[in-house]
Structure 1
Amino acid sequence: MSSMKYSYSLWSPFDTVKDVAESLGVANLSDEAAKVLAMDIEYRINEVLEQATTFMRHSKRTRLTAADISSALRVLNVEPLYGYDSSRPLRFREAILGPGQTLYYIDDDEVDFEKIINMPLPKVPREVSFTAHWLAIEGVQPAIPQNPLPPEGRTSLTNSSGAASTEVEVKPLVKHALSKELQLYFERVTSVLTEETSDASMINAVLTSLGNDPGLHQLLPYFIQFVAEKVRLNLKNATMLYLMLQVLHRLLTNPTIFIEPYIHSVMPPILTLLVGKRIGTTQAANEEHYEVRDFAASLLQKVCTQYGDAYHTLKPRVTRTLLKAFMDPGKSAGTQYGALCGLKSIGPEVVRVLVLSNLKDWASVISSASSASTEDKNRLRKAVLDALRSLVDSELATIDEVSEDHKEKFKQYVGPIVSELVLAADDSDAIIKAVVSDPFD
Structure 2
Amino acid sequence: MKFSYTLWSPSDTVRDVAESLGIVNLPEDVAKALAMDIEYRIHELLEQALKFMRHGKRTHLTTSDISHAMRVLNVEPLYGYDSSRPVRFREAILGPGQTLYYIDDDVVDFEKIINMPLPKVPREVSFTAHWLAIEGVQPSIPQNPAPSDVTKPAGQSSMLPAGEVEVKPLVKHALSKELQLYFDRVIAALTEESDDSAMKTAALNSLRNDAGLHQLVPYFIQFAAEKITNNLGNASLLYLILQVLHALVTNPTIFIEPYIHSIMPLILTLLVAKKIGSPQPGSLEHFEVRDFASSILQYICTQYGDSYHTLKPRVTRTLFKAFMDNKKPLGTHYGAISGLTSIGPEVVRVVVLGNLREWSKVIGHQSGISQPEKARLGKVVVEALRALVDKEMTTISEVSAEGLARFRDIVGDDVAALVQAEHDGDDIIKAIIQG
| TM-score of the two chains, using structure 2 as the length reference | 0.68
2:170 to 169, 173, 178: 173
- Letter paired with 1:279: I
In structure 1, stretches of 5+ residues that fail to align are: 1-84, 93-104, 157-168
2:411 to 414, 421, 429: 414
Q: What residue in structure 2 maps to residue 326 of structure 1? A: 323
Contact 1:360 1:414 in 2 (8 A): yes
Residue 321 of structure 1 deviates from its aligned partner by: 1.3
Q: CA 1:205–1:140 in 2, change beyond 3 Å: closer, same or farther?
A: farther
Query: What is the correspondence of 1:36-185 to structure 2 with a 5 Å cutoff?
Result: 87-88=68-69, 106=75, 109=78, 111=80, 128-150=125-147, 172-185=169-182
Query: What is the correspondence of 1:239-278 to structure 2 with a 5 Å cutoff?
Result: 239-278=236-275
The percentage of counterpart residues that share the same residue type is 62
> 1:292-345: CA deviations, max 9, x gaps?
000101111112222222222222221121111111221111110000001111
Q: What residue in structure 1 maps to residue 433 of structure 2? A: 436
1:373 to 370, 373, 384: 370
Contact 2:208 2:247 in 1 (8 A): yes
Q: CA 1:393–1:91 in 2, change beyond 3 Å: closer, same or farther?
A: closer
Q: What residue in structure 2 maps to residue 191 of structure 1? A: 188
Q: CA 1:366–1:155 in 2, change beyond 3 Å: closer, same or farther?
A: same
Counterparts of 2:328 and 2:262, CA distance in 1: 25
Q: What residue in structure 2 maps to residue 209 of structure 1? A: 206
Q: CA 1:399–1:107 in 2, change beyond 3 Å: closer, same or farther?
A: closer
2:401 to 400, 404, 409: 404
Q: CA 1:263–1:434 in 2, change beyond 3 Å: closer, same or farther?
A: same
Counterparts of 1:412 and 1:368, CA distance in 2: 18
Counterparts of 1:290 and 1:188, CA distance in 2: 30
Q: How many residues in Structure 1 have an aligned counterpart in Structure 2?
A: 329
More deviation, 128-137/357-366: 128-137
Counterparts of 2:133 and 2:212, CA distance in 1: 21
Counterparts of 1:365 and 1:310, CA distance in 2: 37
Residue 260 of structure 1 deviates from its aligned partner by: 1.1
Q: CA 1:361–1:90 in 2, change beyond 3 Å: closer, same or farther?
A: closer
- Letter paired with 2:235: A
The CA RMSD over aligned residues, in Å, is 3.3
User: Which has the greater radius of gyration?
Assistant: 2
> 1:266-304: CA deviations, max 9, x gaps?
111111100011111165993321110001011111122
1:223 to 220, 223, 233: 220
Q: CA 1:216–1:91 in 2, change beyond 3 Å: closer, same or farther?
A: closer
Counterparts of 1:266 and 1:230, CA distance in 2: 13
| TM-score of the two chains, using structure 1 as the length reference | 0.67
Q: CA 1:123–1:437 in 2, change beyond 3 Å: closer, same or farther?
A: same
> 1:143-180: CA deviations, max 9, x gaps?
33344444698769xxxxxxxxxxxx996233313211
Counterparts of 1:128 and 1:239, CA distance in 2: 64
Residue 182 of structure 1 deviates from its aligned partner by: 1.1
Contact 2:67 2:78 in 1 (8 A): no
Residue 230 of structure 1 deviates from its aligned partner by: 0.5
Q: What residue in structure 2 maps to residue 31 of structure 1? A: none
Q: CA 1:303–1:87 in 2, change beyond 3 Å: closer, same or farther?
A: farther
Counterparts of 2:72 and 2:351, CA distance in 1: 77
Counterparts of 1:320 and 1:434, CA distance in 2: 25
Query: What is the correspondence of 1:336-351 to structure 2 with a 5 Å cutoff?
Result: 336-351=333-348
Residue 108 of structure 1 deviates from its aligned partner by: 5.1
Contact 2:282 2:370 in 1 (8 A): no
- Letter paired with 1:109: L
Q: What residue in structure 2 maps to residue 385 of structure 1? A: 382
Q: What residue in structure 2 maps to residue 23 of structure 1? A: none
